A and B are shown apart, each in its own frame.
Chain A
Amino acid sequence: MAEESSSRWKSLGPLIMEIKFTFKRIRQSPLSIIGMSIIFFYAVIAILAPVLAPPQPGRDPYIMPCYGVSPMPSPPSEKAIWGTTEGQYDIYYGCIWGVRTAFRTGILTTIGTLIIGIIIGSIAGYYGGKIDEIIMRITDMFYAIPTIVLAMAIVVLLGVGLDNVIKAMIIVGWPTYARLMRAEVMRIKNEDYIEAARAIGCSNLRIIAKHVLPNAIYPVIIMASMNIGNVVLAASALSFLGLGSPAGYADWGAMISLSRNWILGLPGNPLAFWYTYTIPGLFIFTFVLGWNLLGDAFRDMLDPLVRRR
């Protein structure tokens, strides 16, 4: 029985096996179930955003509607159920559409860094020698500058804006994945089946694409997906500093930036504007927490000591 199931496992291929193992680990850990639920919850909000907070027709849905000209935030009312922030922007609307912004930022950045990291890492790992040496020295250079500082400098170069924040984070983020990919490729390229593929005359490109990548890519993808939370956190910090989304854009970091003048409230009522920073802050916190809780389970999976094998 055991033998039969193990041969069935093998026939499924390594990737499916890994995915099954992943879900098993997730099911085993209560914290990662909470993480999964949070992310699922946010995914539903992102999908339902047009229903939950209908945009005004003909307007960019990512621009928060504003209900007046007074700069002072106004408390929750029937029109704006969570109140308005500086410039009378609707907090509820901004938080709901901000979920889409967060997903978009996290996923675009991660895909960008992954593609660059995987390509460069597999070239370095597969070819080795001089190419590897040069690529690794370049990644070393990137490691020598604190990432947020470098990202800030690149945003200054590219110009302020959320898209440029994403580009900057891709430029500073790829070396991590390139290194991991390189290590995986180096481990795999000495396996017998690669030798066999080479012996029957496969081209280098074919070997990399068909035999090395599918076997090496998994840890890199896992690592990248557990990093989505950190990416969103970093992007919100840059938006808070005023380097990301412009004022009025549905972006949690930028929304908190709008509340900066109102932190101390009114004389005699220091918490008068608590909703301007607390609500978007809770959104960032729980979103990132969800990814980090899930990431914790993923980390265990990458740890060779806890892996089955």
Chain B
Amino acid sequence: MRLRAYIVRRLFMLPVIMFGVSLIIFAIMQCFTPAQRAVAYVQSREEMLNINEIIKRYHLDEPPIIQYLYWINSILHGNLGYSISANMPVSQALMTYFPATLELVFLAIPLTLILGITFGILAAVYRDSLIDHIVRFFSISAWSLPTFWSAIVLLAFFYGVLGMFPPGRLSPQIFLSLSISGFKKYTGMYIIDGILNGRLDVSLDALNHVILPSLNLAILSSALPMRIMRSSMLEVLGKEYITAARAKGLSKWMVIWKHAVKNAFIPMITVAGIMIANLITGVVITETVFDYPGLGRFAAGAATSLDMAGILGFALFASTVYAVMNLIVDILYALIDPRIKY
């Protein structure tokens, strides 16, 4: 019962957080002149000439509080302005590029966790062995690797030398065949849509393109879970109930799996927030290097072409995702760990 109250209270926090986010983004926008802000809504040359009309239409010359209300209202109606870099409304750009990023992240997160958890456990169980030293060295060095550099090295080696895992999202011939054959987009994620359309070649081609960028994300972001898993396993393995379970005659791996790993998981959840933030940053850079048409590449393109509507729209979107993910993590934390007070 108290758990439910906690979840409800935590849910109510979400709009409060988003209100804070909107204030920061609005504050950034206020640093521009009304005419500059109006450009964010301009869609064509004719409109550019009538910039004063746009200022009037979006109330960009009113006092800030009134402006804020109008701005929030238009956001809630899905109008985030017009992105000059993507050449479409920002909301449409976000919808277009989001599935590609989801596809990438859906592959990267399990990879990250598998790498991080497995090697974290192994390092703790075989403490001070070779594998432990490798894991510890890796987790410090991965932390210091520039994402864009590891991406370039992976691309040069796998695609350049071995000719595997091309950049982009689909091969040109597959992409062309989609428009001819009446391929239906159910989710926008080609791996799933390929299966739903009965076109396994599309799925495989999409997978072939997404593997390398998700590997890049996973290698870099697995450093943190690896480190946390190792230290929390070490702590748990020293506990008396582990000795007791061993004394009872359970096998080593049985104890590790049934008694130690479960308890060692809890600190992992506390760093989930940091991991999500890292992932968002990683996506921007990885997608740019691999020329993968997702939200990250859109954001990088918007930033470099000084497309204010695009970059602020992305900031708003990324913060919403971030807030929702943190909410889920907090609720999971409360569900999993009975010791949490709420």
Contact = CB atoms under 8 A, between A and B. Distances in A.
B156 A141 contact: no
A202 B280 CA distance: 48
B55 interface: no
A152 interface: yes
Nearest to A159: B306
A233 interface: yes
A148 interface: yes
A274 B159 CA distance: 14
Given A265-B156, A296-B140, A240 B281 contact: no
Most buried by A among B146, B153, B280, B300: B146
Interface stretch (A8-16, A54-62, A66-74, A287-295): A287-295
Contacts of A195: none
A281 B161 contact: no
A259 B277 CA distance: 27
B318 A146 contact: yes
Contact of A288 (B144, B284, B288, B312): B144
Contacts of B289: 260
Given A256-B149, A285-B145, A141 B24 contact: yes
Contact of A285 (B24, B32, B149, B311): B149
B332 to A, nearest CB: 19
A155 B314 CA distance: 14
Interface stretch (B15-23, B68-76, B101-109): B15-23
B143 interface: yes
B28 interface: yes
Given A146-B280, A157-B28, A289 B23 contact: no
B309 to A, nearest CB: 10
A148 to B, nearest CB: 4
A1 interface: no
A277 B156 contact: yes
Contacts of B24: 141-142, 144-145, 150
Interface string B132-155: 000000001101111111001101
A154 B289 CA distance: 22
B288 A241 contact: yes
Interface string A255-299: 010011001110000110010011001001100110111001000
A31 B133 CA distance: 12
A241 B285 contact: yes
A112 interface: no
Contacts of B32: 157
B303 interface: yes
Interface in B15-43: 17-18, 20-21, 23-25, 28, 31-32
B303 A155 contact: yes
Interface in A130-166: 137, 140-142, 144-150, 152-157, 159-160
Contact of B156 (A31, A150, A263, A296): A263
A219 interface: no
A253 interface: yes
B146 A236 contact: yes
A75 interface: no
Contact of A149 (B145, B161, B284): B284
A229 interface: yes
Contact of A270 (B161, B302, B303, B311): B161
A75 to B, nearest CB: 16
B206 to A, nearest CB: 21
A49 to B, nearest CB: 22
Contact of B147 (A142, A153, A237, A291): A237
Contacts of A154: 28
Nearest to A265: B160
A236 B281 CA distance: 13
B67 interface: no
A136 to B, nearest CB: 11
A246 interface: no
Contacts of A265: 156, 160
Most buried by B among A146, A160, A253, A264: A146
B319 A149 contact: yes
Nearest to A269: B160
Interface in A23-74: 31
Given A149-B319, A270-B160, A144 B153 contact: no
Contact of B155 (A137, A141, A148, A263): A263
A237 B315 contact: no
A243 interface: yes
Contacts of A292: 140, 143-144
B277 A147 contact: yes
A264 B311 contact: no
Nearest to A141: B20
A242 interface: yes
A149 B281 contact: yes
4 shortest interchain CB distances as A-B pairs: A270-B160, A141-B20, A281-B149, A288-B144
6 contacts: A140-B17, A141-B21, A147-B281, A148-B284, A153-B25, A285-B144
Interface of A: 31, 137, 140-142, 144-150, 152-157, 159-160, 229, 233, 236-237, 240-243, 253, 256, 259-260, 263-265, 270-271, 274, 277-278, 281, 284-285, 288-289, 291-293, 296
Given A150-B24, A291-B144, 9 more contacts: A149-B280, A149-B284, A149-B315, A153-B28, A153-B311, A156-B308, A240-B148, A242-B304, A289-B140
